[in-house]
Amino acid sequence: MSEPSAKASYVGAPAIFLLERECQHLNAAFGGYGVYLVGSSIERPDWRDVDLRMILEDEAFATLFPDAGDNWEFDPRWLFLTVAISRHLSAATGLPIDFQFQPQTHANKRHPKQRQAMGMQFTSPRNTT
């Protein structure tokens, strides 16, 4: 197993803040387990692109991509949404983005490395007195 990186990610500010904001929108739009930062940008400073994965429950993934089967990387809907969202995120942040939807079982089985939740929103309790 590789050692944890010295930083949470090697994506600099303000780009990572812009990415967080955009991931909040994606999480609100698609739900599931949310968007995760994975890959080289959390492992080393010489990353090539920023890998983001929207992990959905297996059933939700099958509902969103009903004709995809086990070869979703060839499914027209999956391809269209993946490319469109990657381009949108790249334009919004100035980063080279590799965004993909993945079903939970696949993500957990095939990609055991570190992942970081993106687009989380925190709320603080309001004083109601």
Q: Residue 95's pLDDT is what?
A: 97
Q: What is the CATH number of the domain that holds 112?
A: 3.30.460
Angle between helices 76-93 and 15-30 (to 10 degrees): 150
The answer to whether position 123 is within a domain reads no
Whether 6 is in a domain gets the answer: no
Number of domains composing the chain: 1
d(CA 117, CA 6): 17
Does residue 127 or residue 57 have the better pLDDT? 57
pLDDT in tens, 100-125: 999 999 999 988 889 999 999 887 77
Contact call for residues 121 and 73 (beta carbons, < 8 A): no
Residue 72 lies in a domain: yes
What pLDDT score does 121 carry?
84
Q: What is the mean pLDDT of the chain?
A: 92
- The answer to whether residue 124 sits within a structural domain is no
Bigger pLDDT: 8 vs 79: 79
Length of the chain: 129
Q: What is the pTM of this model?
A: 0.88
In a domain, 3, yes or no: no
Dihedral class, residue 96 (left if φ above 0, else alpha if ψ from -120 to 50, else beta): beta
For residue 78, the model assigns a pLDDT of 98
Residue 128 lies in a domain: no
The pLDDT value given to residue 105:
95
With respect to residue 99, please indicate whether it lies within any of the assigned structural domains. yes
Residue 35 in any domain: the answer is yes
What is the rounded average pLDDT of the residues 6-32? Answer: 93
Give the pLDDT of residue 122: 82
pLDDT at 5 over 80: no
Query: How far apart, in whole angstroms, are the C-alpha atoms of residue 14 and residue 22?
Result: 13
DSSP E strand boundaries for the chain = 34-38, 50-56, 97-103, 116-118
Which residue range forms the structural domain that includes residue 113?
A: 15-118
**Residue-wise pLDDT tens digits, 70-110:** 899 999 999 999 999 999 999 999 999 999 999 999 999 98
